[in-house]
Amino acid sequence: MNLYICSSLIGHKTDLYFMARRFIIADPSEDVQLMLSQYISIGWHDAEIEEETIKDLLAAERVETDVIIVGETSSNDPNLHALLKRSDAGEIPPVIIINNEGNEFNESSSMNAPVLSMEDITPVNLNGIIAEALKQQADGVIKQRKKSKKDSEKSHEDNEIPTEKLEGLKGYRIIRELGRGGMSRVLLAEDLDDGKEVAIKVLDTKTIEDERMIERFIREYAILSSVDNPHVVKIYDQTFTDQYAFIIMQRFPGGDLTRRIRKGIRPDQAIRYLVQIARGLEAVHEEGIVHRDLKPGNILFYDNTRLALVDFGLSQTEDDSTDLTRHGEVYGTPSYVSPEQARGRRVDQRSDIYSAGIIFYQMLTREKPYRADNPMAMFYKHVHAELPMLPGEFSEYQSLLDKMLAKSPDDRFQSASELAQALQEYMQ
């Protein structure tokens, strides 16, 4: 069984992959240090990984490494800003930020560095961002960061995104970046026709060597254009330029479920959220679509109570004979994959129900049901570990959770409709 790491994305066909790479992980906790080291080793053969403090890096005249990864930091940390200033000036290698503040970090900071949240980090996302940073370094982009920063400050005054111009995207005014992953980023924009705010998902097609990544991006629009449901993101348009692919979609000002889990969710509200998740799954499953990457970060809110499912980039159609997944590859976020996903097998709608069960446990307890030091250990737990037991205060939901998290798909709810119906008895 293989963990899909987008080998061509991280330079499998170039010297980037075969060169021994050096990494510094700055200010991590012990658990984060271990996780990042394992994820990096999966994507980069013969990686040399060291641990330093941000203060030591700032004091050093030269920093001998290829990439600096800052673990679990705050957007208000003055040392982080000083480190980024040196990186922007080309004095030290590129910096990648791992944060635990959720979307608030991206929305509250104007940092000119890739940011990956603890909730969404996977080997694919991390190594994709590393590959992009190394490619920019090899192309000499780092030497131009000082000038780019001045240009971005001027464009920011006009409420434009402080990055490169997205030529060819007509009819929209880019306001700012909302977030990014290993392969794409999401921008907040204004539709110049009606003044409505939208989200624009952007893929730089020239930086991706694995054509399946581009095909998936294109398919996401085709898949979602057939779905019309308030609990599934609405897609407005898709367009292309020589360099970029764009999906214009609904904007969700209420943030994601991750933020709400962190603050705490009442059991009755968790049930109401789960009903909406089930209704969204019901709509996509009726179209033969399996999400395959259901997690709190892919559940966004219109307001305080209404939510929708987003990010169908890894989805598949159940009858798709041209599925872009190779046999044995594992797609999805390790903490939320179903046992059949973990085994690299083809999945159906019942896999999404398992993922929803993991989310339900997390909504009730603020914790994930399984913990592991690396993706392979997490996959093993999904397949072999005992079903998680809820704390006594949530015992009334145990039978519901058990049926969502059954190891065999045949023992789970057989459809999202069946799940939604079962939830009615828990509604207050």
Query: For 4, which DSSP code?
Result: -
Cα–Cα distance list, 321 to 282, 315, 351 (Å): 22, 14, 19
Pair 101, 28 in one domain: yes
Q: Is residue 151 a part of any domain in this protein?
A: no
Q: Is residue 68 a part of any domain in this protein?
A: yes
Pair 328, 393 in one domain: yes
Pair 26, 107 in one domain: yes
Q: Is residue 262 a part of any domain in this protein?
A: yes
Contact criterion met (CB below 8 Å) for 20 and 48: yes
Q: Which residues contact 338 (CB under 8 A, 6 or more apart)?
A: 347, 350, 351, 354, 355, 382, 409
Q: Is residue 241 a part of any domain in this protein?
A: yes
Q: Is residue 154 a part of any domain in this protein?
A: no
Report pLDDT for 112: 72
Pair 238, 261 in one domain: no
Choose one of 100, 116, 145: the last residue of a domain.
145
What is the helix (H) or strand (E) element at residue 239, kind and residue range?
A: strand 235-240
Count: domains in the chain: 3
DSSP codes, 151-200: HHHHHHHTT--SS---TT--SEEEEEEEEE-SSEEEEEEEETTT--EEEE
Q: Is residue 403 a part of any domain in this protein?
A: yes
Pair 127, 206 in one domain: no
Pair 418, 319 in one domain: yes
Q: Is residue 150 a part of any domain in this protein?
A: no
Choose one of 249, 273, 303: the last residue of a domain.
249
Pair 407, 323 in one domain: yes
Report pLDDT for 6: 36
Could you tell me the residue range of the domain that residue 111 belongs to? 2-145
Q: Is the dihedral of CA 3, 9, 13, 17 positive or negative?
A: negative
Report pLDDT for 320: 53
Q: Is residue 295 a part of any domain in this protein?
A: yes
State the CATH number of the domain containing residue 366. Answer: 1.10.510.10
Q: Mean pLDDT for each 10-residue chunk of the chain (428 residues)?
A: 34 40 82 83 77 87 86 77 86 84 48 77 83 71 44 41 56 84 79 91 72 69 82 87 83 92 96 98 92 91 93 65 46 88 89 98 96 86 96 97 98 98 90
Choose one of 145, 177, 195: the last residue of a domain.
145
Pair 204, 272 in one domain: no
Pair 288, 356 in one domain: yes
Distance separating alpha carbons of residues 105 and 116, to the nearest angstrom:
10
State the CATH number of the domain containing residue 128. Answer: 3.40.50.2300
State the CATH number of the domain containing residue 202. Answer: 3.30.200.20
Report pLDDT for 245: 81
Pair 263, 354 in one domain: yes
Distance separating alpha carbons of residues 137 and 11, to the nearest angstrom:
14
Pair 200, 139 in one domain: no
Largest CA distance in the chain: 65
User: Which residues form the catalytic set?
Assistant: 293
Contact criterion met (CB below 8 Å) for 119 and 102: yes
Pair 205, 303 in one domain: no
